[in-house]
């Protein structure tokens, strides 16, 4: 689960913005992919698309160079993520608890003053489970799970508090074998998200707190931390972090581009494209892989003046936006819940059906989008073909929706 919302003055708050606070996937029940609105440009038979990696000699005079992939090993700290860490606190509660804090059985809200004591009471009164959460942290956690070995392929930066929940979050990240290096401060408590479970319902209450407090100069700029950034080959940041530290994103993105490494960004929520358009578009020229869902894609298209609602055309136009490192042509990947995933490269737009899940097997679609990205990244760090990256993304999402929260079994069954 990856709830995020801006809380500073001038940032969107209130009930009308709650939709974007939580990354939720549409139910992945029976699949009946809709026909494409327009035919995709096809690869040559048998060809397999890869994310461009290193130049091959251009054939013939001024013809543009094509780019071939170079297989690479997944060493420690190969994958770098930076975002808003939250400690997910899950518990089965009773109706009295929901009523006390004015919670609906199946809802997603941001914590208000009246919820101040909720988190501590939840821990004291009920049997709780803790998980390292937050959108980006979920994705790198899933990637590490898919990779399995070695441990600590995934690195994560974010801000927490110097408190009990912060210590638990560090422990949970370690148990997930993620190499988390948090900026710890004492002004705000560690961000938390309470998942209050009653029967088949989950009422989510997020208190973002310290997640908003990341400071580039106090963490990212430190030599020991920056060396971890330089060590990585693949980078992923959810758009939510644009509300916290756009300067940190830009520093990581420009470093990746200058060194011909892979930088990926997620649109994350409609409000990011609307209210954080300027910082987003400053980063966009450095983006090698752009993720989003169909709602986020539609909002991005409107804000960019694309004048189309066709998701394939939106993906094509987003792929063609200006780019600094021309050695890597941008790849755009839009998920659509139970409908086909769309991928645009410089040569084509393709559709990929998701894995079929029986409605009765679906427990919780929160975190499905984060899991898809995690699965995708787990193959990207090996420089596997993009088709394999998407297949792994679909697999990871199909596992997560059959469980409560962004959790998974001990080992993946992905071949």
Q: Which residues are catalytically annotated?
A: 370
Question: Are 104 and 203 a contacting pair, CB within 8 Å?
Answer: yes
| Ordered strands of the 331-336 beta sheet | 179-185, 154-161, 79-82, 234-238, 262-266, 289-293, 331-336, 339-344, 349-352
CA atoms 156, 161, 163, 164: torsion sign: negative
CA angle 10, 135, 165 (to 5 degrees): 90
Strand order, beta sheet including 128-133: 107-110, 201-207, 192-198, 86-92, 128-133
Q: What are the backbone angles phi and psi of residue 7, rounded to the nearest 5°?
A: -125, -10
C-alpha triplet 38, 42, 43: angle, nearest 5°: 160
SS3 annotation, 174-228: HHCCCEEEEEEECCCCCCEEEEEEECCEEEEEEECHHHHHCCHHHHHCCHHHHHH
CB half-sphere exposure, 318, CA atoms < 13 A: 37
Q: How far apart are CA 269 and CA 239, in angstroms?
A: 8
Distance between CA atoms of residues 291 and 335, nearest Å: 8
Question: Of 83, 251, 76, which is closest to residue 182 (Cα–Cα)?
Answer: 83
CB 289 within 8 A of CB 330: yes
Q: Label residue 401 exposed, middle or buried (CB < 10 Å: 0-12, 13-18, 19+).
A: buried
Q: For residue 261, what is the DSSP state?
A: -
């Amino acid at each position: 689960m990856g709830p995020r919302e801006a809380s500073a003055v001038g940032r969107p708050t209130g009930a009308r913005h709650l939709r974007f606070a939580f990354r939720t996937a549409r139910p992945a029940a029976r699949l009946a992919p809709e026909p494409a609105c327009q035919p995709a440009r096809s690869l040559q038979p048998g060809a397999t698309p890869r994310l461009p990696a290193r130049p091959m000699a251009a054939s013939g005079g001024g013809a543009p160079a094509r780019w071939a992939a170079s297989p690479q090993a997944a060493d420690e700290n190969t994958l770098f993520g930076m975002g808003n860490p939250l400690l997910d606190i899950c518990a089965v509660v009773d109706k009295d608890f929901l009523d006390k804090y004015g919670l609906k059985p199946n809802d997603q809200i941001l914590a208000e003053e009246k919820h101040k004591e909720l988190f501590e009471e939840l821990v004291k009164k009920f049997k709780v489970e803790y998980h390292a959460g937050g959108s980006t942290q979920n994705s790198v956690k899933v990637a590490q799970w898919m990779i399995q070995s070695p441990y600590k392929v995934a690195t994560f930066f974010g801000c927490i508090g110097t408190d009990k929940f912060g210590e638990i979050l560090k422990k949970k990240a370690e148990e997930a074998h993620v190499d988390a290096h948090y900026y710890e401060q004492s002004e705000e408590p560690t961000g938390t998200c309470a998942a209050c479970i009653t029967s088949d319902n989950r009422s989510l209450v997020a208190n973002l707190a310290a997640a908003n407090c990341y400071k580039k100069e106090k963490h990212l700029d430190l030599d020991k931390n920056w060396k971890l950034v330089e060590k990585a080959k693949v980078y992923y940041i959810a758009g939510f972090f644009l509300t916290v530290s756009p300067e940190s994103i830009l520093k990581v993105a420009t470093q990746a581009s200058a060194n011909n490494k892979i930088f990926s960004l997620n649109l994350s929520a409609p409000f990011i494209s609307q209210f954080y358009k300027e910082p987003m578009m400053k980063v966009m020229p450095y983006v090698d892989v752009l993720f989003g869902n169909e709602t986020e894609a539609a909002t991005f298209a409107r804000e960019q003046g694309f004048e189309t609602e066709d998701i394939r055309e939106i993906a094509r136009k987003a792929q063609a936006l200006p780019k600094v490192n021309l050695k890597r042509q941008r790849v755009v990947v839009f998920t659509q819940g139970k409908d086909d995933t769309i991928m645009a490269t410089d040569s084509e737009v393709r559709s990929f059906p998701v894995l079929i899940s029986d409605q009765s097997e679906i427990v919780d679609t929160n975190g499905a989008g984060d899991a898809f990205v995690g699965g995708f990244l787990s193959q990207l760090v090996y420089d596997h073909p993009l088709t394999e990256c998407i297949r792994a993304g679909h697999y990871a999402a199909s596992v997560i929706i059959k469980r409560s929260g962004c959790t998974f079994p001990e080992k993946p069954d992905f071949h």
